Amino acid sequence: DGGITQSPKYLFRKEGQNVTLSCEQNLNHDAMYWYRQDPGQGLRLIYYSQIVNDFQKGDIAEGYSVSREKKESFPLTVTSAQKNPTAFYLCASSIVIPGREQFFGPGTRLTVL
């Protein structure tokens, strides 16, 4: 089955800790994205990558970091510098052609204790 997987589904972090969220896709998509969703709000773009070893900041990149060493994988690290990290995090991917839809993973809910 082709798709996007995110792990873990739930993640708890103590203040001051860095945590890494996993995103893997087997759709052969070049582009991958990380979004954050807060209650009652739409999604906001954190980082995106159009090709391996390249990525760009989105609207709310402060306190986050990413890497793109493989086409299939785009992990997101939430650092201690992120002031309000409790949120639902969604990963997406798409082919790099204008107008093509993005496909989303099931999400990771991060809670800071």
Answer yes or no whether residue 71 interacts with another protein by CB under 8 A.
no
- 72 or 88: CB nearest another protein: 88
Answer yes or no whether residue 43 interacts with another protein by CB under 8 A.
yes
- 15 or 101: CB nearest another protein: 101
- What is the number of residues in the chain? 113
Three-class SS of residue 60? coil
Which region, judged by CB under 8 A, interacts with another protein, from 15-23, 63-71, 72-80, 101-109? Answer: 101-109
Question: How far apart are alpha carbons 57 and 39 in whole angstroms?
Answer: 23
CB 74 within 8 A of CB 89: no
Q: 98 CB contacts (<8 Å, ≥6 apart)?
A: none
Answer yes or no whether residue 63 interacts with another protein by CB under 8 A.
no
Q: Which tokens belong to 42?
A: 């739409």
Binding site residues, another protein, CB under 8 A: 4, 6, 31, 33, 40-45, 48, 50, 58, 88, 90, 92, 96-99, 101-107, 109
